[in-house]
Amino acid sequence: MPPSDTDDMTTVLAWLDQFQDLHPNGNELADPAAAARAAAKAGREATHDLPFDGDPTGFTATLETLARKDGES
């Protein structure tokens, strides 16, 4: 476990216990906590300017609108 995460682990384990009912029981989590924090930060920053009424559904329909329309397979 990297030193930078050591201080986080008590909190991480408490969060898993209280909100996910998960008990790793000593199984190594290493730096997933840090990776998750970085990913969530990236996600928040990337989506900062999205409109209020954005819709997460219908990705296939979006792709279909972007296909070539000239019969290219």
Partner 1 sequence: MTGDPAFMTLAEAAAAISTGAVSSVELTKACLDRLKTHGPTLHAVAGLDEADALAQAEAADKAQAAGAPLGPLHGVPLAHKDMYYRAGRPSACGSVIRKDFVPDHTSTALAGLDAAGALDIARLNMVEFALGVTGHNDVVGTPKNPWNTAHMTGGSSSGSGAAVAARLCYGALGSDTGGSIRLPAACCGLVGMKPTYGRVSRYGAMPLSHSLDTVGPLTRTVRDNAMMMQAIAGPDANDPVTASAVPGDYLAELGRDVSGLKIGLPETFFYENVAPEVRTLVEASLKVYEDRGCEIVPVKIPDAVSIMNRLTNLITATEGAANHGRWLAERPGDYGPQTRARMSIGLFTPANVYLRVLTLRKQLVREFCDQVFRQVDALHTPMMVMPVPTLQESNMAAQPGFADYLLKIGQNTRPVNFLGLPGLNMPCGFTPDGLPCSFQLVGRPYSEGLLYRLGDAYQQATDWHEKAPDLD
Q: How many Å from the N-terminal Cα to the C-terminal Cα in the chain?
A: 49
Do residues 31 and 2 make contact, with C-beta atoms less than 8 angstroms apart? yes
- Where would I find the beta strands (DSSP E) of the chain? none
The contact mask relative to partner 1 for 22-61 (x = CB under 8 A, - = no) is: xxxx-xxxxxxxxxxxxxx-xxxxxx--x---xxxxxxx-
Size of site (CB under 8 A) for partner 1: 47
The smaller minimum CB distance to partner 1, of residues 7 and 66, is found at 66
Smallest separation (angstroms) from partner 1 to the CB of 7? 15
Q: Phi/psi at 38 (nearest 5 deg)?
A: -65, -40
Which residues form the interface with partner 1 (CB under 8 A)? 2, 12, 15-16, 20-25, 27-40, 42-47, 50, 54-60, 62-64, 66-68, 71-73
